[in-house]
Amino acid sequence: MKVLGISGSPRRNGNTDTLLSEMLRGAADKGAETKTIRLNSMKFVTCQHCDGCLKEGNCIIKDEMQEIYPEFEQADVIILATPIQFMGMTAPMKAMIDRFQARWARKYVLKIPPLGEVKPRKGFLIAVGGTKYKNIFDSPLVIVKTFFLLMDIEYAGDILLKEIDEKGAINDHPEALKQAYEEGQKLLEA
């Protein structure tokens, strides 16, 4: 089983990265092959709505997004992990999702599977916010659930944590780290 973790945080080894790596550690301990992509280290542009994907279902922009598509195709589990910024996911995470317009085109225009080989894929969301505002996860939840649905990825759950703000603050929440580790293990069990 291949588990792909994608971090949308600009802070390397911040709260999001720490939770993601705990979850991947749980999955690895159950035998999964894991991989992490930090979007902040990758160079790709936003979807240009050029419609260049409508012919063959491939994004024609030749940047580092081209390395991310095959990772999705090969993965059995995809974990999207993002801090909350201005009530939403981070810009790189949203930009990555928007670049899957090419795969939307595969499914809804060309009537072919969006992610190549048809196999069961599971998706999971990790989101961390610094405040206790009520609605901080509404936007990422709608976007990620829709994204997974359109890509034929089953929404398998989430970890949504409020009031985790300073870098490293997550380490004061061992129960959250334990939850992440266990969720990583559970993903491999079902």
Q: Which residues contribute to the site for ligand FMN (CB under 6 A)?
A: 9, 11, 14-16, 83-87, 128-131, 133, 136, 164-165, 167
d(CA 75, CA 138): 26
Nearer to ligand FMN, 138 or 165 (CB): 165
CB of 138 to ligand FMN, least distance (A): 11
- Residue in 38, 6, 39 with CA at minimum distance from that of residue 23: 6
Least gap, CB of 72 to ligand FMN (angstroms)? 22
CB 132 to ligand FMN: min, Å: 8
Chain residue whose CB lies nearest ligand FMN: 14
Residue with smaller CB distance to ligand FMN, 37 or 59: 37
The residue type found at 59 is: C
Phi, psi of 82 (to 5 degrees): -145, 140
Half-sphere exposure of 72 (CA within 13 A, CB side): 22
Which residue, 11 or 173, is less far from ligand FMN as judged by CB?
11
For every residue of 125-157, DSSP letters joined together read EEEE-SS--TTTTHHHHHHHHHHHHHTT-EEEE
Residue among 113 and 130 whose Cβ is closer to ligand FMN: 130
The least distance separating ligand FMN from the CB of residue 31, rounded to whole angstroms, comes to 27
Extract the tokens encoding 112.
């072919």
